[in-house]
Each structure stands twice: as structure tokens, then as C-alpha cells.
Amino acid sequence: MRSLLAIAALVAGLLLNAPLRAQAVEGASFDDTARFLAGLQPSSASPLAALAREPVWQQHAKHFDAAWAGLESRQLAKVRAWAGQNMSAPGQTLFYMFSGPDFLYANAFFPNASTYVLSGLERTGPIPDVTKLRGSALPAALGHLKVSLRQVLSHSYFITSQMGAHLSRGQLNGTLPLLYVFLARSGKTVRDVSYVQLEPDGTIKPYEAAGPGAIPRAVKIVFSGGGDKEQTLYYFSTNLANNGVAKSGFLTFCETLGTGDSFVKSASYLLHGGAFASVREFMLKYSTHILQDDTGIPASQFKEDTWSLQPFGRYTRPIPVFARNYQSRLKALFDQSKPAVLDFGIGYKWRAGQSNLMLATRKPRQTAASP
């Protein structure tokens, strides 16, 4: 009797978790799904090949081809050129706090990282299965995806309040469809996608659904680009405020990855206050480089004996809604250095010639002289 009960429990567990990996077994591959959503032709043997012949997808592909061509010339090519000139010896791990699903700029600034850690409040959503979109569901889902990406393609950032509401609706909801599009359009091959579970002690393990209403809060994506080297992207749906990271184990997990680089942009100046001090302290302790716009860590928090600060672009004043976050020390740094303007836009002042970046580089430790 016990054996029968054990077998029944095992079968029930397998059925409960089957949808988490069903796409890779029965439907289209992860990579073909990512390419299809991004408006790129899936493989000829893919179950999505027939859908890619439908006029609604052909129009979708044409729209994204034009959008990415403009983005490439206006932004991404210039970002990659800037990073190649100014980001010497980048680390293997990138911590991108308050990122949402923005792999696009993480990859543009840090293309060679082995591990990307992205985080935000937005949910991962279900692993996309486009083979289930039939009839009017397909144009609705593709239209929803275009609207979700409109802000970041035009302004370089997501508006959190709008994105949270928008990504909770439609059949392609959550951050995963957007991550798929960014990976595919960045020339990556998506090899594997799986939900993971973050434990309070910072360890991660395969996701185990606690019940029918359980919602995964973290995903691991393995991909490659232009070669055999595999790279890993983690996206965590998590509260980065002090009380949130204390309970979730998120920063403890990040610590297990060792030192890396950090990237912050369009972060609502959250790192200026005490409510996010834990994340700020982590970045200052575990980063070799910190690349940020003025919404990141205040310039006054960087100790002169520990960090070299290099400004780029123009710093004037924050946009009106964040006027109280003006930094006199940062303004003095820009006035003293007189850097050239950036030829691409980044952050809340997203027009070329108006944006700012600061690269903080940890100084080598000084060893005591021998007596």
C-alpha cells in the first residue's frame, strides 16, 4: 500500500511540474520561440514554421526589423563602441539591479559576461508556448508584445508602474517574452529555460510548485552567441528594499558569485535613500566596476581612497519629478572633468547629448611598505 501511495505521489508531482518544461519536449524549442517572438524566422523543422507564413507574423517581423534597424544605428552600435573604448577588463558577472527584463542594454554594455543577474518587481510569467496561440489569439499576443516594448525601444528604459500593469495581462505575460525578444535580437541562441527557486540562505534549486496557484519568481536562461561559449541569465522577481532582500536570500545568492560589475540606470533614485541601503552596500562591496547614470549610488558614497570616478556626457539636473535628487558633488565632478557628450541616449534624459554616465572603478589595494 505504501508503495502504491509513493508511486501516486510521484506521478502527481511529475504532472504538476510537467508544464514548466513541456515546451522543450513537445512544442517548439526555446530558441525557435524566442526567434518567432522577435520577428526572426524559426528553423524550417519547427512547429512555428507554418505560423511564420501567416500574414500577421510577416507584418510583425517587418515591424520589428524596422524598429531594430533604427535602434541599432541610433543606440546599440554606439553603446557597444563606447563600451569597447571605456570598459577595460570587465568582470565575468554582471549585477543589474532594478533592471526589469532589460537584457538589451546589459548585453550592449557588457557583452562578454558569463553570468547576468537581473532583478525587478515584475513577475516572470509562464514559459511562452506560441503553438497554443490560434485564431485571433496570435495577432493579439504579438500586438501586446509590441506595446510592451515600445517605451524601452524609444527611450531606453521601462516605466515600472506601466510595465507591471501591462505585463500582467495577455497570453504572453510576464518578463519572459521580453527577455526572449532581447536575446534573439541580440544574436543569441537560447539553449535552455527553467524556473529556479531561491532559498532564504541564498542557494537556488529547481522550482517546486507548492500548489496550483504557486507562481515562480525566478528563471534561469542558458544561451550562447557567436560561438560555443555558454552564458547564463538569471532573472529574479524580488523586492530589493532592505526588508525584501533580508527575507529572500537574493543578496546572499549574489555573494556566492563573488565580485563582478554592477550596472544601474533609470532606477528612480532608489539608491539615494536608506530603504535600499542593503543593495547599495552590496554593490560597493562586491563590484569591481559600477557603471551608472545619476539615478545610481550618489557620488558622495564613493570613498576617494577606494574608487576612481570617471564621468561621461552631461549632468545638469534630474527631471522635475526627481528634482530633490540633485547632486552637487556629481556636478562638480562633471564641471572639473568636462567630458565629451554621449552620442547615444541613456536614462531619463534619453536624448543624445543630454545623458550622463559615471564609471566607478575600484582602486588596487595598497600594500604596506616593508620596514
Question: The pTM is what?
Answer: 0.88
Is 35 a member of any domain? yes
* Mean pLDDT value across residues 306-311: 98
Over 80: is that where the pLDDT of 12 sits? no
The answer as to whether 131 is a domain residue is yes
Could you tell me if residue 167 is inside a domain?
A: yes
In a domain, 9, yes or no: no
* 8 in any annotated domain: no
Specify if 7 maps to a domain: no
Is 81 part of any domain?
yes
Tell me the mean pLDDT in the region 27-38.
94
Q: What mean pLDDT comes out for the span 108-129?
A: 93
Full residue range of the structural domain in which residue 26 is found: 14-362
Query: Considering its fold, how many domains does the chain have in total?
Result: 1
Instruction: Establish if 371 belongs to a structural domain.
Output: no
Percent of the chain whose pLDDT exceeds 90:
68
Mean predicted lDDT score pLDDT of the chain: 86
Widest CA span in the chain: 81
State the Cα–Cα distance between residues 17 and 24, nearest whole angstrom: 13
Q: What percent of the chain has pLDDT over 70?
A: 85
